[in-house]
């Protein structure tokens, strides 16, 4: 039987549904609306296996902050009513047949990336449901990313149009241009246009740095900030080697959780 694993970037979905509500304290409404959203996703995707991956909610910002201390520093915390209601949301999803995977020391992004790549590498179909373009560096013939809220695929043509680079160059792109929403600075003075120009000429940051053909207008910036660019690239990349501790069979989709 052909496998289709759907991975829900849980907090990405929940936050967007919750932010669209008129009353942020109405968690019952959040449960209802996320449930409806998931039902539509399931009807559209027809998964054989499904899981919702949640970020840990501790204060530890993980391994990325150890490499780049400013990473996600001062990010707006989750609204308190939503934080208190997460367990109820998880339970409601479980009743729909959707199990939850909660990250511990790692970010949910890395758990999603590890699971998605592991399954896709065996030629099985994987769909990640998220608006996060960071997942696009994982794109492959059997791995796709669906932005449910914009009703679009974050595919290779989308990346080419949005960033002007290949999916495999995205970590290098962010290493150069930075990610303002996550406090990833990149190289000062190199923005999206320059990053695109550099990565059109070179495969990656290292090739550009080592080449005499790097335009003079960028050489000094590289000389001053190459170490920072490397760290920004490292935190922008996804880990795909996390020990998961479960089998794909555990994620088989059934509308009755007791039968899983």
Please report, in range form, the residues annotated as the binding site.
Answer: 109, 176-177, 185, 187, 190
- Which residue, chain included where needed, has tokens 């009513």? 81
With residues binned 3-state (H G I as helix, E B as strand, rest as coil), the percentages for the chain, rounded to 5, are 50, 10, 35
Residue 202: which residues within 8 A CB-CB, separation 6 or more?
A: 208, 211, 214
CB atoms within 10 A of CB 60: 10
85 burial (CB, 10 Å; 0-12 / 13-18 / 19+) is: buried
* 90 Cβ neighbours under 8 A, 6+ residues apart: 52, 54, 100
> CB-hemisphere CA count at 13 Å for 97?
15
What is the distance in angstroms between the CA of the first residue and the CA of the last residue of the chain?
17
Q: Residue 163 to residues 11, 134, 225, 239: CA-CA distances in angstroms?
A: 25, 12, 22, 22
3-state secondary structure of 32: helix
Binding residues for Mg(2+): 109
Binding residues for K(+): 176-177, 185, 187, 190
- By C-alpha distance, which of 133, 193, 135 is closest to 164? 193
Task: Specify the pairing of strand 143-147 against strand 152-153.
Answer: antiparallel
């Amino acid at each position: 039987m052909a496998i289709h694993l759907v991975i829900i970037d849980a907090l990405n979905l929940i936050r967007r549904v919750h932010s669209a509500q008129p009353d942020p304290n109405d968690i019952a409404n959040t449960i209802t609306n996320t449930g409806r959203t998931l039902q539509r996703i399931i009807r559209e995707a027809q998964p054989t296996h499904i899981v919702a991956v949640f970020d840990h909610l501790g204060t530890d910002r993980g391994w990325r902050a150890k490499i780049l201390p400013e990473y996600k520093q001062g990010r707006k915390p989750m609204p308190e009513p939503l934080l208190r209601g997460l367990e109820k949301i998880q339970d409601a999803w479980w009743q729909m047949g959707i199990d939850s995977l909660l990250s511990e020391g790692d970010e949910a992004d890395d758990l999603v990336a590890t699971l998605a790549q592991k399954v896709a590498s065996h030629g099985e179909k994987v769909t990640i449901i998220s608006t996060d373009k960071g997942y696009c560096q994982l794109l492959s013939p059997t791995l796709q990313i669906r932005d449910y809220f914009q009703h679009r695929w974050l595919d290779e043509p989308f990346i080419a149009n949005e960033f002007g680079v290949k999916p495999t160059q995205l970590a290098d792109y962010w290493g150069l241009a930075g990610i303002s929403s996550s406090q990833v600075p990149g190289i000062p003075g190199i923005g999206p246009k320059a990053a695109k120009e550099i990565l059109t000429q070179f495969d990656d940051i290292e090739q550009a740095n080592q080449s005499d053909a790097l335009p003079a207008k960028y050489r000094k910036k590289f000389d001053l900030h190459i170490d920072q660019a490397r760290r920004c690239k490292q935190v922008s990349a996804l880990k795909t080697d996390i020990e998961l501790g479960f089998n794909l069979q555990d994620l088989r989709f059934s509308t009755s959780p007791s039968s899983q």
